[in-house]
Chain A
Amino acid sequence: MKQSISLRRLQKTLASGSTGRCAGRVLGARSPRSYSTHPPNARLNIPVDYSTTPLLAHTSQTALSSAELPPEVRNSTTKRMNLFQAINDALSIALTEDENVLVFGEDVAFGGVFRCTMKLAENFGGGRVFNTPLTEQGIMGFGIGLAAEGMRPVAEIQFADYVYPAFDQLVNEAAKFRYRDGSCGRSVGGLTVRMPCGGVGHGALYHSQSPESLFTHIPGLRVIMPRSPLQAKGLLLSAIRSNDPCIFMEPKILYRAAVEQVPLGPYTLPLSKAEVLKQGKDVTIISYGQPLYICSSAIQKAEQDLGISIELIDLRTVYPWDKETVFKSVQKTGRCMVVHEAMVNAGIGAEVAAAIQEHPETFIRLEAPVARVAGWSIPTPLLYEKFNFPDVARIYDNVKKLLDY
């Protein structure tokens, strides 16, 4: 019994995101876990305060002000949700509006290990929201078969770290289905694959990975990573409605940590369209998912210390990605940095940097080499996560290097 209590606590901690950077300040005082604290004199590497970050809509007014929302939603109301609740809301809307939508995966029926599918089986029936046997290749193959017959399956892979058994199905089947069927016109565009990804403070090798760049090397797939509840809801609904197979990666550290006002009712946000989160004129920082919050903190410090202004871009869809927005920004600022958790080699940063230097009008505007701040070329080790993933200090320092070049 003792053991099961401690396991339960472990599970709760992992699912809560109340770990590492994000809640270290709260836990640090009373928790003996050294990995969740930060140095007492740190000025840069202090935990993200999600309750004040400018990247989340803390008021209803902010949430509804986005020009991307349809008019009827902009005139509606909002509700405070965290990321898992926003995902749940989107799934619930999708299941309501289209009887062909099905939700399945390992342990989704009781609500999911991260609570994203709470109450869905109760509300929509066990025929539409159900557990599968523990087999990722089976889940993916099953989803492809459903989509091939006109259904809109939303499959869940419990952790992005466990998507590899399904890789053959994704690469050789889902991505190529429309292409090989040619004028027969069948595809598995109805397929959406959700998977929690990214660091969580103590996920180590197999509960931390961000394999997005592996998917971006597969023609035929759309790869999406939201940064916030409002965005997650709109992008997930877009992915489910999209007629291309979509990989939807959810930064699990944000499931509980990121809370904002989310418009009620259905709305979508555009795929393959980046969002300029903050205008600036001296440096462009490009990122997606959770590191955007770190970037935002670093930008505040750098602007304050160095008297510059930095533009922050959220790619949102990492493939096919919005080159135009990025080129336009870099042409303006002349300096650019890409930030992501996944290892630097052949990561999203490599593609973005290569595209920038390859684009004649952007290349001639560069005043410094494109910087990449990303995970080192190692697996994600338990004890060393804080030295591996981009943090405020590394981003801050790279801004200085870009300016000093």
Chain B
Amino acid sequence: MTARFLPRAAPRQVANFLPRGAPNFAFRAGTRAASSISQRPGSSHVSFPGAVKSAFTSDLKFALSADSPALPTYRVVDQDGNVVDQSFKPDLSDEEVVKLYKTMLTISIMDIIMFDAQRQGRLSFYMVSAGEEAISVGSASVLDKGDVVFCQYREQGVFAQRGFTLNDFMNQLFANKKDPGKGRNMPVHYGSRDLNIHTISSPLATQIPHAAGAAYGLKMQRMNDPSLPPRVVVVYFGEGAASEGDFHAALNIAATRSCPVVFICRNNGYAISTPTLEQYRGDGIASRGIGYGIDTVRVDGNDIWAVREVTKRAREMALEDGGRPILIEAMSYRVSHHSTSDDSFAYRARVEVEDWKRRDNPIARLRKYMEARGLWDESKEKEARESIRRDVLKAFSEAEREKKPPIRAMFEDVYEELTPDLKAQMGELRDHLEKYPEEYDLSEFEGGISSLRQ
């Protein structure tokens, strides 16, 4: 994209480019002293600086993408809830397992209720995460409280698992005065400082390089103050977002700067209507990690145990040796529509979706696992579903009744302080609203027009 040939191509700069302290044998006074970096006689390996470990070959052979086997998908528990990884040892008490299950169930029940609420026009927008509860809840369940998280938008489970309450969800969804986003963001764009989850923004993949930078920041902070606990950054994104340039930028920069970041790709088969066949032709997202020099694993995203094991190990690896990035590709199926603005039966068969719902989904799989161990049964299921439904509806109606934030909030937080222009514009809006009181309904906003007074 950039052709900075003028200054960039000057060979003198390349000479100065070497890391300090590295033996500067390659260049002297702008002359390329090629002898020590180039090929030694009889050497079996290339010494080109761009690929130092490459062996010479006399066979002309292209690496055929089709020849590489697809990376395997790690699972602990199969579709029927049976443990298939014999080395697996559950690290949770029975109560904790039930709690994880209930968190997934809560997300899934909230999704159904809020989807319908949007259909009734009580909410402007909603996105469910059906089929992907194990990825978000499972991975978040093995993170440290201090770890920093960046989300895309289909990670309600991360919020719930880290302590976001039903009231927190509802306040944001209804953009009431308790919404930390002050009613500025679309529904589902949650954020929490206390839970170390950055506020979600709509542009796809922009958060991936943020995660790399944030991880580098945490690493530097710990270098400056070794008493700080080791922390990683975790970033979630879909397989569609991985086609954005920011994905490429982020993985590359995270690898070159050795950032302690765990990239978690939710590969659910669709980006709105676009199936993965039209998204990429390689072996998913996982195969790309290796190209960036990033240790990578593919995991069954419907298996919460596998997601937990993989994330736990990834977190440890990310903190080893001063830090490095890890890529996890969690495979799943987007059971739901993309959002409330989407009817997915316009581009995929209803039977396919029903099949996935029935055959395999993360909630059913954990339920089978629990049932096999006598932790769960039909009556507990019924009771849990009813009580969660009640809780959701209670939080729903409380949030719906709250006032909206003060109108003044629309001008604040653009800059650290209100600029003279913004103060003037706030005054202009106030004068206008006073002049045309019949044209606007201010009653639902906290403080009405008074918030616009200086």
Interface mask (B241-265 → A, CB under 8 Å = 1, otherwise 0): 0000110111011001100000000
Within 8 Å by CB of B206, from A99, A126, A141, lies A141
Chain B residue at minimal CB-CB distance from A125:
B20
Contact B181 A182, beta carbon cutoff 8 Å: yes
Contact B7 A141, beta carbon cutoff 8 Å: no
Chain A residue at minimal CB-CB distance from B183:
A182
Using a Cβ–Cβ cut-off of 8 Å, how many residues does chain B contribute to the interface with A?
Answer: 67
In the complex, whether A186 has a CB less than 8 A from a CB of chain B is yes
Residue numbers in A under 8 Å from B11 (CB-CB)? 4, 7-8
Contact B249 A127, beta carbon cutoff 8 Å: no
Within 8 Å by CB of A99, from B19, B184, B185, B224, lies B224
Chain B CB count within 10 A is highest, among A99, A113, A145, A179, for A145
Contact A181 B180, beta carbon cutoff 8 Å: yes
Chain A CB count within 10 A is highest, among B184, B210, B421, for B210
Give Cα A168–Cα B249 distance, bound, in whole angstroms.
13
Chain B residue at minimal CB-CB distance from A320:
B419
Using a Cβ–Cβ cut-off of 8 Å, how many residues does chain A contribute to the interface with B?
Answer: 75
Residue numbers in B under 8 Å from A144 (CB-CB)? 209-210, 213
In the complex, whether B282 has a CB less than 8 A from a CB of chain A is no
Contact A141 B182, beta carbon cutoff 8 Å: no
**A residues 286-330 with Cβ under 8 Å of B?**
320, 323-324
Contact B191 A184, beta carbon cutoff 8 Å: yes
Given contacts A138-B209, A180-B184, contact A110 B16 (CB under 8 A): yes
Chain A CB count within 10 A is highest, among B2, B9, B12, B208, for B2
Give Cα A224–Cα B261 distance, bound, in whole angstroms.
33
Residue numbers in B under 8 Å from A162 (CB-CB)? 1-2, 4
Q: How many A-B residue pairs have CB under 8 A?
A: 218
Q: Which of A22-30, A38-46, A148-156, A394-402 contacts B (4 or more CB under 8 A)?
A: A148-156
Contact A142 B212, beta carbon cutoff 8 Å: yes
Contact A220 B415, beta carbon cutoff 8 Å: yes
In the complex, whether B229 has a CB less than 8 A from a CB of chain A is no
In the complex, whether A66 has a CB less than 8 A from a CB of chain B is no
Given contacts A178-B416, A185-B193, contact A173 B201 (CB under 8 A): yes
Q: Which of A10-18, A48-56, A338-346, A363-371 contacts B (4 or more CB under 8 A)?
A: A10-18
Chain A CB count within 10 A is highest, among B6, B8, B413, B416, for B6
Q: Which 3 A-B residue pairs are closest in the complex by CB-CB distance?
A: A145-B213, A141-B209, A138-B249
Q: List 29 A-B contacts (CB under 8 A).
A: A7-B10, A11-B6, A11-B13, A15-B7, A100-B221, A107-B17, A109-B17, A110-B17, A111-B16, A113-B7, A127-B223, A130-B257, A135-B249, A137-B249, A138-B209, A141-B210, A141-B250, A142-B216, A145-B150, A145-B209, A148-B217, A150-B221, A153-B213, A173-B206, A181-B198, A182-B182, A186-B198, A187-B413, A206-B4
Given contacts A145-B150, A148-B198, A183-B180, 5 further A-B contacts (CB under 8 A): A113-B8, A169-B209, A184-B192, A207-B4, A272-B419
